[in-house]
Structure 1
Amino acid sequence: MRGDAVTPSRPVDTPAPAPKRQRPASDPKVLRLIPAEFASRHLVLPLRRTGRTLSVAMADPSDAALIDDLQFLTQFEIDAVGVGEHTLRQRIDRSYEAATTRGSGRAEEAAGAPPVEADSAEASEEPAVRLIDDILADAVRRGASDIHFEPYESELRVRYRLDGRLREILRPPFRLAAALTSRLKILADLNIAERRIPQDGRIRMPVADRVIDFRVSTLPTLFGEKVVLRILDRDRQAFDLEAFGMEARAERALLAAIAQTSGMVLVTGPTGSGKTTTLYSALARLNTPEANIMTAEDPVEYSIEGINQVQIRPKIGLTFATTLRAFLRQDPNILMVGEIRDRETGGIAVKAALTGHLVLSTLHTNDAASTATRLVDMGIEAFNVAVAVKVITAQRLVGRICPDCRVETSYAPEILSSVGLEAGRRGQGAFYRGAGCDSCDGSGYSGRQGLYEVLPMSPAIRRLVLAGASSEEIERRAVKEGMITLRQDGFAKAGMGIATLEDVLRETPA
């Protein structure tokens, strides 16, 4: 039944029957047919289901396009019921809040049938287009870094990664999974007929008043394809090293290293710790008309005007090592290697750093001190490592406490003592957390904050590397020379009310 065939059962401004007669909150399964996010945005509330018909309260029951969307979303015929906007908004909030309190956690699979395979025509239908557009726009508005579309046996779950944490946003009916996945694959120029192997693509589309890039990854799972979108919003990402919140000495050491014309600057940390942002920020500072800057990346996350960026493609032989060799024949000044993964890549990068080029790259190590020993363990000569490397930065990301709901919290002295803190010392007696408010959607967080450990390659550190010293010995010497460790930087930011003590302890090595 299409929207233009729907006859409203009541005028728009006529109040609906009292909630106790329509019982909008009595059956969580009916409520779950329309996700709370969709209901709040479009002012609709499912009331009851009779056979293949779903009664829905609407602020404007003559909105044929919205009725079409509801039919596609729920797979039911829609009986539109007019309700005043103010009353409807209150009932939506009250009904979904009550359902959440009762723990209604599973979406109903409306007809009990398995999902259908969606073709390009179905994926291009207006309701699928609008729902995907709504989700992408909402994720960008909230500042999410990733969107997850996850099919399970009888439901589809959509989650955002907000401030480093995954949060469930809505659960559309499972029968929509194939259509929504196909829509995303069409936008990313992927093969919608291929569901057996992972695929990677990219979407560029206008959202609000700007153009946003989305990196798309599909993965075949037991109940369908999971799709993850990484949001690459250049307008929200400030590539400015001096805005990172580094300790003053650490910032000076890093800036001094990238100001040199040769040598190697390394950034280390786990996946998702902000290494790429640090490298891009360094490149933004170095990007002048006099410099020939070349990058080898997998993948290229942001396009930067004035920099020659190469997407690594191992399947056709375009590896980090082969790309680096080609770079050296291109008269470069500055090279950025997305990651040193093996001896060959590391050896070429070190050689380039020793022959008049500034080289920036990343590794996966726990801290700064273990990075030098990792390169030696790869088979790169200790002498070359000691001479080429100028500075090593280790980093982590933690949630930034929401300033609008920040409250003081305290810990027992024995707890502080167990992690090396003394309650009586200045800056270590009080800590903070976010209580949750409207500004942060109740999460207690607003953005993310980096923790940094910057190790300059001093003469004493070089001697230790040449002598084959352990990472523990290198760290002890670096701390003696004034290096602030990741955990120490975290404690300082916790004391300033920027991060929680729990997050610092979880994310930093002891």
Structure 2
Amino acid sequence: MSEEYIIQCWSCLASFDAFTAGWCAHIPPSKICPYCLRCSCKAPEDYKEEVWKNAPKELIEERKSVSKGKEPLGELLLKSGKITPEILQAALKRQEAEGEKLGEILVKMNVIKREELDLYLISQKKVATISLKDKNVDIELVKKIGFNYCLKNKCLPIGVEEFQGEKILALVMVNPFDSFTISSVSSITSFKVIPYQAEPEEFENVIKELQRKFFRAEPSKKEGKEFPLIEGLIRSGIRRGAEEIYIEPHDYEFRIFFRIEGLLFKSVPISREDHPNLINSIMELSNLDKNLKNIPQKGKIILAEFRENYEIHVQSTPSRFENIISIKIIDKNSFGKNLEEIGLNELDMKDLTDTIEKREGISIVSAPLFNNSASTIYSIMNYYRRKGWKVTSVEPFIHIGIQGLNQFEMDERFPPSYVIKKAIDTQPDILFVFSLQDENSINILFRYSINFPIILELNSRNSAQAIHILRDIIGINPRLISERLKLVLNQRMIRRLCDNCKEPAMTPFEIDYKIEDLDTYEFKFYKEKGCEECNRTGFKGRFPIYELLKITPPIKELILKGANERTIRETAKKLGFITLGQNCVYKIVQGLTSTTEYLKGNFD
């Protein structure tokens, strides 16, 4: 096998090794980015063509073996000998007349039994719903699978039956499309697993009853233990100002990366021989289940030394060797500071708050990955919390727990729409939804935005691209976007020149044509140099720049016509829209940053 095949994620723009990344469950499948956990199945066709045109032969063969096409129900039943072509033709004619599903008609015709239909529907990824009220949970199987596992992954076994010479385990699940859990339960029990859909509330009632009668909560596994290596890594990351630490397992070592000021720095690797249980120790410390090798998990590390000033979140993602670990470090002192202090100009601040305070519609806060849009959203959340609004959020993980907010955390075992509906049930004055690209869930948000304002986070390089992603990639109806979308705030984090070592520079030719209308004689230009204080980079810290695109009638018309992002952007500029690139130039002429950041930002 090739050593690696590096590709860039179409969504978050991060680079990763396709060989070590996991496959998604779509047909045909694509690789899941280990940073944003999104596959590329909805990426533009030219992106997918480029990825697979250059892919190593081994990866293409692996993709073919993972792909398993699903046949129509009628063809499946014909191939299995359950029905004849004549019976299928009669059922199809009856379906055309009555409008019912083919499977239901075949059951009414007494051609197949209800239980058999369920099994064939499962093979098509169509899942039957079952009530737990009249079903007995198999306690011995729960013990074999593990009660805590069932509790965490929202599944319960209700019995084993034999079908066509094979033993089948019926598994009731809140999310029956969770292929990781299905595969794991099958591996634990050695049975083929058939999932059934359960209502979440009904499942919770049954699991509580089981816990009361048969099971006790497991004690903490880390009491009295010390983790000096892990604590040392976190301490080193905090000292260096890292936002995230990545630990990637390989054959003979663990590779360590620090993300500092948006850039990735490779550290000295850790030998597997010296620390064979590093990944398991991190998972234990963050209360993750180390026995689940093929399931993404998330948790928190709580250590007295860091507790007051930092939130430390851990995410475990399956890979070819062992789970990849991401440790996200959130500085409580700078994350989500006062809205008035984040750097919005007076006009943008007024447009943002005036739009929200109309108490309806969708507003988007967007940025490329690793550009801190979550911090800006927390600033807006805190602003309206202090104003006495009832604030509710839906987050991939609770970045920082805030008293007075209703904060919901996404769970991979539940569909996103389920969590969003639970959040809407709190009847908020304003709803904030983070990191969402699910078409069904976003459609729900657009429909409910007539009742209260909703702030939605998206990953995009600029404001116009956010509209393109909503309409052309996620698939939201253009008319719905034009009616309910009110504004898009896009941001980019820019590195600040080190005040200790920055040095004067001539007017940079790279932006000369962009500053011809400015009185440049009033400003001094600077460039980076590097010193001990800034780790020889010439920069120290980052600050945000913004662009705010209001969805005015001309922009609405372009959305309805299907105009591309460049057309939307150029039209907005003629109407007075100030771009990220222009705002970056303003920061350069103020001596806050250099043309290095302008060029790195690839502003248009």
Q: Take 2:396 and 2:421, find their aligned partners in 1: how far apart are those partners?
A: 17
1:400-415 map, 5 Å: 400-410=496-506, 413=509, 415=510
Given candidates 444, 456, 468, the residue that maps to 1:361 is 456
Contact 1:416 1:422 in 2 (8 A): no
Shift of 1:308: 0.8
1:69-468 map, 5 Å: 129-195=227-293, 197-207=295-305, 210=308, 212-221=310-319, 224-288=322-386, 290-315=388-413, 317-319=414-416, 321-354=417-450, 356-377=451-472, 378-410=474-506, 413=509, 415-416=510-511, 420=514, 426=520, 431-468=525-562
Total equivalences in the alignment? 383
Shift of 1:434: 2.9
Q: For residues 220 and 265 of structure 1, do their structure 2 counterparts lie closer, same or farther at Cα, with a shift above 3 Å needed?
A: closer
Q: Which structure carries more relative contact order (alpha carbon 8 Å, separation 6+)? A: 1
Shift of 1:368: 1.2
CA-to-aligned-CA distance 1:142-199 (integer Å, 9 cap, x gap): 3211112344444444332221122344444442332333321211112334445544
Q: For residues 472 and 204 of structure 1, do their structure 2 counterparts lie closer, same or farther at Cα, with a shift above 3 Å needed?
A: same
Contact 1:487 1:505 in 2 (8 A): no
Q: Which blocks of at least 5 consecutive residues in structure 2 are unaligned?
A: 1-220
Q: Take 1:452 and 1:164, find their aligned partners in 2: how far apart are those partners?
A: 17
Shift of 1:430: 5.5
User: Could you tell me the percent identity over the aligned residues?
Assistant: 23
Shift of 1:361: 0.3
Q: Take 1:238 and 1:225, find their aligned partners in 2: how far apart are those partners?
A: 31
SS at match of 2:437: coil
Contact 2:256 2:269 in 1 (8 A): yes
Shift of 1:279: 1.2
User: Does residue 472 of structure 1 match 2:566?
Assistant: yes
AA partner of residue 433 (structure 1): K
Q: Take 1:174 and 1:498, find their aligned partners in 2: how far apart are those partners?
A: 44
Contact 1:150 1:226 in 2 (8 A): yes
Shift of 1:455: 0.8
Shift of 1:266: 0.5
Shift of 1:425: 6.1
Contact 1:449 1:499 in 2 (8 A): no
AA partner of residue 483 (structure 2): V
AA partner of residue 284 (structure 1): N
CA-to-aligned-CA distance 1:106-135 (integer Å, 9 cap, x gap): xxxxxxxxxxxxxxxx99998x72232222
What residue in structure 2 maps to residue 498 of structure 1?
592
Q: For residues 159 and 314 of structure 1, do their structure 2 counterparts lie closer, same or farther at Cα, with a shift above 3 Å needed?
A: closer
Q: Take 2:375 and 2:321, find their aligned partners in 1: how far apart are those partners?
A: 35
Q: Take 2:459 and 2:411, find their aligned partners in 1: how far apart are those partners?
A: 21
SS at match of 1:228: strand
Q: For residues 482 and 412 of structure 1, do their structure 2 counterparts lie closer, same or farther at Cα, with a shift above 3 Å needed?
A: closer
SS at match of 2:541: strand
CA-to-aligned-CA distance 1:199-221 (integer Å, 9 cap, x gap): 43221222257253222123455
Contact 2:391 2:431 in 1 (8 A): yes
SS at match of 1:506: helix
AA partner of residue 485 (structure 1): T
Q: For residues 130 and 260 of structure 1, do their structure 2 counterparts lie closer, same or farther at Cα, with a shift above 3 Å needed?
A: same
SS at match of 2:504: strand
Contact 1:269 1:363 in 2 (8 A): yes
Q: For residues 170 and 491 of structure 1, do their structure 2 counterparts lie closer, same or farther at Cα, with a shift above 3 Å needed?
A: same
Q: Take 1:424 and 1:236, find their aligned partners in 2: how far apart are those partners?
A: 32
What residue in structure 2 maps to residue 11 of structure 1?
none
Q: Which blocks of at least 5 consecutive residues in structure 1 are unaligned?
A: 1-121
Shift of 1:304: 1.8
CA-to-aligned-CA distance 1:422-455 (integer Å, 9 cap, x gap): 5996179864333222222222222212221101
Q: Take 2:565 and 2:300, find their aligned partners in 1: how far apart are those partners?
A: 40
Contact 1:427 1:492 in 2 (8 A): no
Q: Take 2:522 and 2:249, find their aligned partners in 1: how far apart are those partners?
A: 46
Q: Take 2:522 and 2:599, find their aligned partners in 1: how far apart are those partners?
A: 14
SS at match of 2:246: strand
Q: CA RMSD in A?
A: 3.1
Q: For residues 306 and 289 of structure 1, do their structure 2 counterparts lie closer, same or farther at Cα, with a shift above 3 Å needed?
A: farther
Q: For residues 129 and 437 of structure 1, do their structure 2 counterparts lie closer, same or farther at Cα, with a shift above 3 Å needed?
A: same
Q: Take 1:124 and 1:204, find their aligned partners in 2: how far apart are those partners?
A: 12
What residue in structure 1 maps to residue 91 of structure 2?
none
CA-to-aligned-CA distance 1:205-262 (integer Å, 9 cap, x gap): 2225725322212345555544221112212324223222234433332232233322
Contact 1:399 1:448 in 2 (8 A): yes
SS at match of 2:420: helix
Q: For residues 170 and 370 of structure 1, do their structure 2 counterparts lie closer, same or farther at Cα, with a shift above 3 Å needed?
A: closer
Q: For residues 223 and 123 of structure 1, do their structure 2 counterparts lie closer, same or farther at Cα, with a shift above 3 Å needed?
A: farther
SS at match of 2:302: strand
AA partner of residue 176 (structure 1): D
SS at match of 2:303: strand
Q: Take 1:296 and 1:240, find their aligned partners in 2: how far apart are those partners?
A: 21
Contact 2:525 2:588 in 1 (8 A): yes
Q: For residues 322 and 208 of structure 1, do their structure 2 counterparts lie closer, same or farther at Cα, with a shift above 3 Å needed?
A: closer
Q: For residues 352 and 210 of structure 1, do their structure 2 counterparts lie closer, same or farther at Cα, with a shift above 3 Å needed?
A: same
Shift of 1:136: 1.5
Q: For residues 405 and 255 of structure 1, do their structure 2 counterparts lie closer, same or farther at Cα, with a shift above 3 Å needed?
A: farther
